[in-house]
Amino acid sequence: MPPIMDPPVEAEPANASSTCNHESVFQTAMETTMKLLLPCVWTSTLLLLSASITQAADAPRWIWGDGQRDGENCVALQTTLPASEDAQKVTLWLANAYCDCEIFLNGRSVSRIRPFHPPASLVLKPRQGENKLGFVCRGVAGPSALAARLEVNKTSVVSDTSWQVSELTRPIGQWGDLADATWARATSWGLLSERTWRSVGVTTHVADDYTQWKRALEQTGSTEADQLWTQPGFQVERLYSAGEGEGSWISLAEDPQGRWVIGHEDEGLVRITLQKNGTPQLEPVNVPVSECRGLVFAHDSLYAMANKNLSLFRLQDTNHDDQFDKIEALKKFNGGTGHGRNQLTLGPDGKLYAIFGDSVDQPVDAKYLPPVVPNPDQVQKTHNGFVARSDAQGENWEVVVRGLRNPYGLDFNAAGDLFTYDADAEYDMGSSWYRPTRVLHLLPGGDYGWRRVTKQWPPYNPDTASIPQPTLDIGRGSPTAVEFATGNNFPAAYRDTLFVLDWSYGRILAVHWQPCGSSYVGATEVFLRGSPLNVTDVEFGRDGAMYFVTGGRQTQSGLYRVRYVGEQNSASQRSPQQVEAAAAQPEESQGLQQAWEHGGYDDRPT
């Protein structure tokens, strides 16, 4: 989990004679609280609010009474909207922190916002002339406050100390109950400002081709390294291009001797040794395992998830002749092979973790299964992908996560948190329930809502403990492997980065994270791309460099290495703003150049 932070600081209650700086105290409290306690789903709405704020003469302030704000105390707040003869509507943005808020317009209740709700936007219909806007708020475990902004035609009204507040001794049911209330100026407890990162995805441009992988079917060799684009300072090398009969490669793992063992779609494995003279040497590894989508060395063994065999295998060299002489099928997973048995990783607890698509049946003999969450409209259960873990012997299995579609890779970060990159459903594109490809922080016991085929929980379903929200939406794509850059020799800005592979668009994406509450928010950039570049797996070697392979669907394969050759820097992490700005223009221009050079058009400019 993210590093434990100090508990939120609550502002001291103040009375009328206090000299306490309310704004600075509440600023500190809200800054800590929003980082730690408020749900990260606030982020996108706060961005909308913050974007609108920048156009206003002043920013909204968190307001409340001058008394206690850390219990079930009640206040009423009111303001007068500017008179306008032609106002057709008023747009209200409202953020209610630690309070239940009922909204009144001219004495009539128009809406109610529950505690811990994301900031809300609603349209009010005023009458001609002067309008009274009021709020009745009941605090919960504080610090309670309200911030609002209104747009009346081209005039902005923000919450500040010109608003009036009345301290209530009990909740009220109607605005008319305030006829004898005593009103005073509201107390400001700080400016409303964005306190969390936003999640920034990537977009496609003119050079992107969702079917670029098909060109690899016709190639006689894998794409040359000089045809690939990567972030400045990085160098890509093609180490080996698969020849005839050497298979289409789909998985990758480094053995204890520093050699690369590669799984392909047919039976068996290959092993590539990078010799000191720079010449790679390939040798077949003849073992009866087919379509090994997952490989991991652990517990003096090579574990292989063989999709076509429907099984997890353990391969061992017991006589030390550099060949696997002991082959055990540890566990069979029934079901189909399309969205099948995918990658493996070793967890910080020493257990094997395996990830599966929605064609595979969850093991009925698992010692633990997460609670079943029904479909939105029926209790019927359908297939969904999952993560399972086991001991080294493959005997004690637990399903730790379910509700996935077709995630291919999984990996842990340095804090021990598990992530994957899950697929979308292409046939849902354009519908309100379409869920794009997404990077997920996988919480133990979580159900992420996918139900095959179109019975999943939609993305607008309210966030619940049992159906966590996606950590980062990417968009259209075809996810394959994921790998954290822990322990690499890349610049510091990339050392906590999650690299995710997009097979259809031929690109490797870099996702930069920052802790947010009990999870994370992230920003994404294209790290490397090519056409064709049907990337299937990625690992970091003992030398700190990135290694990846291409292949899948019987396409041409290759083994590549990415090293950093630029100037080292001391930046510890990239901000979302840096990610958005960094290399965006060079990448775009490079993509356009590739489009002109390889698009086959005769009318390009000269």
Which tops the pLDDT comparison, 280 or 34? 280
**Predicted pLDDT at 476:** 85
SS3 assignment, position 192: coil
Handedness of CA 477, 479, 480, 486 (dihedral sign): positive
Lowest mean pLDDT among 303-312, 502-511, 580-589: 580-589
Whether residue 196 is predicted with pLDDT greater than 50 in this model: the reply is no
Bond from prior residue into 532 cis (ω within 30 degrees of 0): yes
C-alpha span between 388 and 6 (Å, rounded): 34
**Predicted pLDDT at 133:** 94
**Predicted pLDDT at 492:** 85
Confidence of residue 592 (pLDDT cuts 50, 70, 90): very low
Q: C-alpha angle with apex 579: 578 to 582, nearest 5 degrees? A: 75
**Residue % of the chain over a pLDDT of 90:** 43
Cβ–Cβ under 8 Å, residues 53 and 192: yes
Residue pLDDT, tens place only, 471-507: 888 888 899 999 999 878 899 889 889 999 999 999 9
Residue with tokens 């077709």: 406
C-alpha span between 105 and 578 (Å, rounded): 43
Whether residue 271 is predicted with pLDDT greater than 90 in this model: the reply is yes
Query: Hey, what are 547's tokens?
Result: 């290694």
Confidence of residue 206 (pLDDT cuts 50, 70, 90): low
Closest CA to 251 of 563, 567, 557: 557
Q: Judging by DSSP bridges, how do beta strands 498-502 and 341-346 pair with one another?
A: unpaired
For the chain, state the CA radius of gyration: 28
Lowest mean pLDDT among 163-172, 345-354, 376-385: 376-385
**Predicted pLDDT at 576:** 42
SS3 assignment, position 455: coil
Query: Hey, what are 233's tokens?
Result: 């300072």
Whether residue 161 is predicted with pLDDT greater than 70 in this model: the reply is yes
Query: Hey, what are 505's tokens?
Result: 């668009």
C-alpha span between 48 and 67 (Å, rounded): 31
Q: Cα(first)–Cα(last) distance of the chain, in Å? A: 54
Whether residue 425 is predicted with pLDDT greater than 70 in this model: the reply is yes
C-alpha span between 106 and 124 (Å, rounded): 11
**Predicted pLDDT at 428:** 75
DSSP letter at 534 equals: -
Overall average pLDDT of the 240-249 stretch: 91
Cβ–Cβ under 8 Å, residues 422 and 406: yes
Whether residue 219 is predicted with pLDDT greater than 80 in this model: the reply is yes
Whether residue 64 is predicted with pLDDT greater than 90 in this model: the reply is yes
DSSP letter at 174 equals: S
Residue pLDDT, tens place only, 6-29: 222 333 333 333 334 444 433 444
Closest CA to 510 of 594, 576, 414, 417: 576
Backbone φ and ψ of 360, nearest 5°: -100, 140
Which tops the pLDDT comparison, 358 or 538? 538
Distance set, CA 542 to CA 33, 522, 565 (Å): 41, 27, 17
HEC string for 17-45: CCCCCHHHHHHHHHHHHHHHCCCCCHHHH
**Predicted pLDDT at 95:** 83
Residue pLDDT, tens place only, 105-148: 999 999 998 876 667 788 888 888 888 999 999 988 667 889 99
**Residue % of the chain over a pLDDT of 70:** 75
Confidence of residue 346 (pLDDT cuts 50, 70, 90): very high
**Predicted pLDDT at 28:** 43
- H helices of 118-211, in order, are none
Looking at the whole model, is its pTM more than 0.85? Answer: no
Domains of the chain, by residue range, sit at: 22-191, 197-248+477-598
Whether residue 375 is predicted with pLDDT greater than 60 in this model: the reply is no
**Predicted pLDDT at 87:** 64
Mean of the per-residue pLDDT values for the chain?
78
Q: Does domain 22-191 have CATH number 3.30.390.30?
A: no
Cβ–Cβ under 8 Å, residues 94 and 145: no
**Predicted pLDDT at 171:** 77
Question: What is the strand order of the sheet 129-139 is part of?
Answer: 108-113, 99-105, 129-139, 74-84, 164-168, 184-185
Which tops the pLDDT comparison, 183 or 370? 183
**Predicted pLDDT at 360:** 92
Choose the most confident range, by mean pLDDT, from 309-323, 373-387, 467-481: 309-323
Confidence of residue 53 (pLDDT cuts 50, 70, 90): very low
- Classify burial at 562, counting beta carbons within 10 Å of its beta carbon; exposed 0-12, middle 13-18, buried 19 or more: buried
Closest CA to 479 of 519, 523, 419, 520: 419
Overall average pLDDT of the 501-520 stretch: 87
